[in-house]
Amino acid sequence: MPRKAITDSEIERCFNVLAELRPHLMQDDFLATVRAMEEDGFCLAFIEQDNQVVAAAEFRIYSNLFMGKHCYVDDLVTAEAHRSKGFGQQMIGWLRAEAQAADCKWFHLDSGTQRDQAHKFYFAQGFNIASYHFSEELR
């Protein structure tokens, strides 16, 4: 069952799974980075099996003029060795319930255009492609 990472230990144990998706992350400053982002509403959730984190998700609940109150999933990743075992589906269900409990109008995420398997998964979970996301690297 997913739950929020609250303690330093829980946060640190999520590093390896998140680094599979974000290999640029540095373990030395991971905890401090997460703690700083929490001040802006960042939350980290995880699923554990046999005392090992097998899936993790980063999310935020906030409001803007476009969507009103919404839940945005920054990242959702299941460890490579544990994919196709239902952990991603469990996490989506838990995140959706968190959004509904917070009275969010929308639940959404972005997925890189190259991640075909992830897209199939998100379609199966009831998501639709709602827009293009444009970006520009500034440095």
Provide the CB-side half-sphere exposure for 126 (13 A, CA): 7
- Domains of the chain, each with CATH number or no CATH: 3-124 (3.40.630.30)
Whole-number pLDDT of residue 70: 97
pLDDT given at position 39: 95
Q: Which of 129, 125, 115 is nearest to 92 (CA)?
A: 125
Positions in the chain short of pLDDT 70: none
Q: Which residues are paired to 44 by β-bridges?
A: 58
pLDDT at residue 130, rounded to an integer: 92
Query: What 3-state DSSP class applies to 17?
Result: helix
Other CB atoms within 10 A of residue 12 CB: 15
